[in-house]
Structure 1
Amino acid sequence: MLIDDLHTVLPDDRIVRDPDVLRSYAHDEAEWAPYGEPAVLVRPRTADEVQAIVRQCLKHGTPVVPRGAGTGLSGGANALGGCVVLATDRMTAVKEIDPVERLAVVEPGVVNDDLRAACAEHGLWYPPDPASSPWSTIGGNVATNAGGVCCVKYGVTRDYVLGLQIVTGTGELVRLGRRTAKGVAGYDLAGLMVGSEGTLGVITEITVRLRAKRAPEATVAGYFDSTVAAGEAAAAIRAAGIVPSALELVDRHCLAAVDAWKNMGLSADANVVLLGRSDVPGGQEAAVMVECFEKAGATWAAQSTDEAEADALFAARRLAYPALERLGPVLTEDVCVPTHLVPEMLARIDLAAQRHNTQIANIAHIGDGNLHPLLITPSGDDDAQRRAQAAFDDIVADALELGGTVTGEHGVGLLKRPGLEKELGPAVLDLHRAVKNALDPHGILNPGKVVGGPVQR
C-alpha cells in the first residue's frame, strides 16, 4: 500500500491524513475549478524526501500534485481523487545570497516577500512581485511564471530564474540551468520548467538573478470616469516612450470593496484610479505621466508628495482581490493583449458585463496589457454563475481576437485549458504533449493540468 511505503521512506510528521487538513490542501483559490479528494498530503523538508515521494508514487502509479502556498487562481494545484498532494511549504531555507554574483539560492517554500527582505539586507532586489507576494512562494511563482506590479519594466519570474533543482517524472534528482551570467550549453530546460505548473517536474531548489537596490520611486495618480479613458492614458504613456516602474488600474468596484473592508476612504472621488510609478531620478518622467493622464481626460491627476498616501494607494491595489472575495465568489480573468489595444479590450470587457448581466470589477497591470477582470456572483446563484462563465468565455475570445493570450501570469491550470487549445492550435498542442510525454512518461505529475489528461471531479 502506498501509505505504508511512504512511511518507510519519510518521517511520520511528513505524512498527513487528517480529513480536515486534506480538504484545506485540495484546491487553490480558483473559483469553480474542479478538484478531488487526495489520498494523503506529504510535506517534505528536503530534496531527497521529494525524490523518495515521487519514486513511491511511480511504484504505485499514483498521481502527484505539487503545491506551494495555494494562492493560485487557475486550479493548477487542485487535487485529483486518490492523488498525493506534495506541499513544499516546509522547504523554506534561503540557502545563499551572493552579493558579488547577484544571485540567491532558495528552497521552493520561501515566501516571495521574505526573499525580497533578505535580499534588501545586502542592498539587492528581487523584482517579481505578484499581488500575493506576502503569501505566495517562490516555487509557486516559478511554476506559474508569476508577474506583478513592477514587471512592466523589470520582467517576470522567467527573466530571473538562472537554475533549478527538480525531481523528474522518472524520479531522478537533477540540476538544470547555471549560475553564470551567460550559458548556452544544451537546451534551456530550466526555462522550460518555468510556467510548467508542476507537470514536468517537482521543483526542490531555485537559483534566481538579483538586481541592485533601485532608487526611490515617485508615485502619480489619476482619476478617470471610465476604464477606457484610463486605458487611453496608459497607451499615451507607452507612445511617449516611457516605461514606468509600475502602472496599475483599479476601478470603483475594487476601491469600494477595499473601503468597506479596511475603511481607507479611497472610493469617494473616482470611478477608476490609475496608479503609476517612476524610479528615474529627477521627476521628469513622472511629470510626463501626469501630462498623459490629463490629456486622456483625467478628472484629476498629480504626483503624490505624501509617501504614506502613495503606499496606501498601492496597498489598496493589492487588497482588491481579497476584498472582493468578501462579497461573494470571484471568477478571475488573466488575459493579456498588445498594449495599444488595451482601451479596446477594456471596452469589450464592459460590453461582456452588459451582455451577460454580470458584475465585473477591474484591476490591471495596465502598463503591459495584463488585465484582470473579476467576475462577481452571489453565493448559491446558479444562474449568475452561468452568466459569469459566459462572460468569462467571451473575454477570452475577445483577447485572442485582438492578438492576445489567455493568461499573462496566473497560468493555465484547469480554468484556461479550453482557451489554451484555441490559442495554440492542434499542431502546437501536440508539441507540448510530446514534451510532457518525454519528461513525464508515466503521466504522474499533475495530470489533467495545462495540456491534457482527464480531470477527476
Structure 2
Amino acid sequence: MVEPTTETTVGQVNTTLGDHLLGELRDAVGANGLLADPDVVLGYQRDMMPLAPAGTPGAVVLPSSTEQVQAVVRACAAAGVPIVPRGAGSGLSGAANAIDGCVVLATTRMNHILEVDPDNRLAVVEPGVVNRDLRGAVEKHGLFYPPDPSSYDWCTIGGNLSTNAGGLCCVKYGVTTDSVLGLETVLATGELLRTGRRTVKGVAGYDLTKLFVGSEGTLGVITQATLALRPLPQAPATLVATFGSTAAAGAAVSRVVREGLVPSLMEIMDQASIRAVEQHLSTELGAGTGSATLLICQSDGGGETARREIRAIEQICTDVGAELVHWTDDLEEGRMLLAARRAVLPSLEIYGAWLTDDVCVPRTRIADLISGCAEISERYGLLIAVVGHAGDGNMHPTITYDPGSEREFAKAHQAFDEILALGLSLGGTVTGEHGVGKVKREWLAREIGPVGLGVHRAIKAALDPGNLFNPGSMFALYDEDKD
C-alpha cells in the first residue's frame, strides 16, 4: 500500500491543530461544518488515484458560503496550517490528497446553482454543484453545459475547474476552461478575487480566469464560477466501426481530422477494452471476431446535417479497411452503443483493481501509443486496456493488477511511468485532463523544463507566499534538496 506522505517540510505545517485553531474553525463554519474525529477525517484523505501519497488531515471543514471560506483561510494562514481544497474526491491524480496535519476544505455544501441566464447563455454556480445536476438544470432552458468527465454523475464543478477536466465531448467543445467566463476565488490573504466577465468578449488585463482553472487548488479556493452555455444539441447520429489493426483505426482518425470533420464525439477502444465490455455487458462488439480496435463517433448537428457527417466518416472507415461499419440515427440505439464506451472502467474490475493513466498525444500517434502500451503490457505481465478520446488524442491506458499483491502493485506503478515516458516520446503530454496532482510532479518538471518550472514557482510565490494552499501538489515551491 502507499505510505502517507511526509511532505510536510514544504511551508510551515502543524501536525496538531490545537484547541485555538479548532475553535476558530468551528466559529467559521459552525459545529456541524467541522469534522475532527480521526476516523471520520480519514474519509477525506485521498481521491481515486492509488499511486498518489496521502497524509492524515488534522480536520475537515465544510463551508457553506464564500464568507465561511474566507474565515477558514484567514484562521489557517495565521496558524501556519496548510489547506487542501477538495470537491467530491473523484480525481485521478492525487491533487485533493491530504498532507499530514492539514485542513481539508471540502466545498460540497456550496452546491447552489445561483443563476441560469438563457438570454446570455450563461450560468452562475457554486463549486459543490454536481456536473450532472448542472447539465440537467440548464437543459430545461434548451441549453447545454459541455464538459462531461466520466464521473459526471457525481463529480463537482469545483473539482472540474481545479483540474481543468475534459470528457467525451472535448473534440468539439473543448475542456472545462473553454466554458468558463469568470470566477470568484479566495486568495491566501482571505481576500476575494473576481476575474473574468459575463460578456462574450473581454480582453482587459491578464487572463487570470484561465490561470486559476487547472491550478489544482494551489493558488486559491474557487467559490463561484460563471459558465458559458451552448444551445442544446439535437439528437445525434452514432457510428461504430471495427478494425483489424490499430494502424487502420489510427488512419481513420487522421482522415477524419484532415478532411475537416468535427464530430461531437470520437472514442477509441483497443481489443482488451472490447473484450472486457463484451463480458461485462453480455454483448458483442467485435472482439470475438478478432477485431483489434473499435471506433465510436457521434454527430450532434441534427437531422440531415448529422447524417451527412456520419456518412462521410462511414466512407473514411470503409476506405481504410474497417471490418464492420454501422451507424444509426435512432436515439436509443445510439445510447446503447455509447454505453459500451462508458462501461470500460467498470468492466475492467473483473480483472482486479485498475489504475488509469492519462496521456495525450498527437492524433497521428494514437496507434503508436496503443501498440506501445501492448508492449509494456507484455513486458510486465499485466493487462493494459487502452481507451480514450480519439478526437483529441487523449488516451487512458488502464493497468489492471491484483490489489493483494505488493509485487503486482509495484509493477503497475512502473508500467504507469513507462506509459508517461512513451507519451512524451511521441510528442505528447503527461496529462490531458486528469491533472498533475501528487502523482506526476516529476513528470511535470520533465515536460516543462527548468524555465517553465521556475515560472510556475514564481506565480505560486506571488499569490501564495506562505505556501498555504495544497503545498507539494503539482510541484514543490522550492527544490527539495535545498529546502
Structure 1 and Structure 2 fold alike (TM over 0.5) = yes
**Post-superposition offset of 1:10:** 2.3
Check 1:268–1:134 CA distance in 2 against 1; reply closer, same or farther (3 A cut): farther
Specify whether residues 202 and 326 from structure 1 end up closer, same or farther in structure 2 by C-alpha distance, changes over 3 A only: farther
Any conservation in 2 of the 1:235–1:342 contact (CA below 8 Å)?
no
> Structure 2 residue aligned with 1:403, among 427, 433, 440?
427
Task: Summarize the alignment of residues 126-165 of structure 1 with structure 2, pairs less than 5 Å apart.
Answer: 126-165=145-184
| SS state at 1:425 partner | helix
1:171 counterpart (174, 190, 200): 190
Q: What CA deviation, in whole Å up to 9, does each residue of 1:348-385 have, x standing for no partner?
A: 22222223322101110011100000011111222222
Q: Quick one: distance in 1 between partners of 2:466 and 2:343?
A: 41
1:80 matched to which residue of 2?
99
Regions of 4+ moved over 6 Å: none
Alignment of 1:140-289 (within 5 A): 140-263=159-282, 266=285, 268=288, 270-280=291-301, 281-282=303-304, 283-289=307-313
Q: Percent identity?
A: 48
Aligned-pair distance for 1:137?
0.7
Q: 2:272 is matched by which residue type in structure 1?
A: H
What is residue 402 of structure 2 aligned with on the other side?
Answer: 378
State the partner residue of 2:70: 51
Residue number in structure 2 paired with 1:308: 332
CA drift of 1:313 comes to 2.2
Secondary structure, counterpart of 2:431 in structure 1: coil
Shift of the 445–325 alpha-carbon distance from structure 1 to 2, 3 Å rule, reads farther
Deviation at 1:326, TM superposition (A): 5.3
- Conserved 8 A contact 2:236-2:329: no
Distance 1:44 1:326 in 2: 39
SS at match of 2:70: helix
- After alignment, is 345-354 or 440-449 more displaced? 345-354
Counterpart mapping for 1:335-354 below 5 A: 335-354=359-378
- Does the Cα contact within 8 Å between 1:31 and 1:329 map onto a contact in 2? no
What CA distance in whole angstroms lies between the structure 2 residues aligned with 1:288 and 1:445?
49
| 46 and 326 in structure 1: CA distance in 2 versus 1, 3 angstrom threshold | farther
Q: CA deviation at 1:5?
A: 1.8
**Corresponding position of 2:352:** 328
Q: Are the counterparts in 1 of residues 253 and 391 from structure 2 also a CA contact under 8 Å?
A: yes
Alignment counterpart, residue 425 of structure 1, candidates 449, 455, 458: 449
Q: Which residue number corresponds to residue 15 of structure 1?
A: 34
In the alignment of these two chains, the number of paired residues is 455
Q: Distance in 2 between matches of 1:309 and 1:378?
A: 35
Does structure 2 conserve the Cα–Cα contact (< 8 Å) formed by 1:362 and 1:372?
Answer: yes
Q: Mark the runs of 5 or more structure 2 residues left unpaired by the alignment.
A: 1-17
Task: Report the residue type matching 2:263 in the other structure.
Answer: P
Return the alpha-carbon distance in structure 1 between the equivalents of residues 52 and 36 of structure 2.
Answer: 23
The 10-residue stretch of structure 1 (246-255 or 24-33) with the greater mean CA deviation from structure 2: 246-255
| 8 Å contact from structure 2 (residues 132, 152) kept in 1 | yes
Q: Distance in 1 between matches of 2:409 and 2:244?
A: 28
Alignment-mate amino acid for residue 345 of structure 1: L
Mean CA deviation greater in 65-74 or 302-311:
302-311
Tell me the amino acid that sits aligned with residue 24 of structure 1. G
Are the equivalent residues in 1 in contact too, given 2:29–2:64 (CA < 8 A)?
no
CA distance in 1, matches of 2:186, 2:354: 34
Matched residue type, 1:9:
A
- Aligned with 1:372: secondary structure? strand
Give the TM-score normalised by the residue count of structure 1: 0.95
* 8 Å contact kept, 2:45–2:55: yes
How far did 1:264 drift? 5.0
Contact 1:132–1:318 at 8 Å: present in 2 too? no
- CA deviation digits over 1:71-95, x for unaligned, max 9? 1001010010111111111111000
Conservation of the 8 A alpha-carbon contact between 1:31 and 1:330: no
Q: Residues 51 and 172 of structure 1 are in contact (CA less than 8 Å); yes or no, is this contact kept in structure 2?
A: yes
Q: 1:263 to 1:16 in 2, by over 3 A?
A: farther
- Distance in 2, Cα, partners of 1:259 & 1:63: 46
Indicate how the Cα distance of structure 1 residues 383 and 173 shifts in structure 2: closer, same or farther if over 3 A, else same. same
Please give the alpha-carbon distance, in whole angstroms, between the structure 1 residues aligned to 2:321 and 2:38: 55
Rounded Cα–Cα distance in structure 1 between residues aligned with 2:236 and 2:154: 24
Q: 1:323 to 1:49 in 2, by over 3 A?
A: farther
**Residues in 2 aligned to 1:306 and 1:213: alpha-carbon distance in whole angstroms:** 18
Superposition deviation, residue 400 in structure 1: 1.3
Map Cα deviations across residues 166-192 of structure 1 (whole Å, 9 max, x no partner).
Answer: 111222122111111111221111110
Q: TM-score, normalised by structure 2?
A: 0.90
Partner AA of 2:295 in structure 1: L
Is residue 313 of structure 2 the alignment partner of residue 294 of structure 1? no
What is the deviation of 1:318?
1.9
How far apart are the structure 1 equivalents of 2:173 and 2:49? Answer: 27
User: For residue 4 of structure 2, what is the aligned residue in structure 1?
Assistant: none
Cα distance in 2 for partners of 1:263, 1:56 equals 55
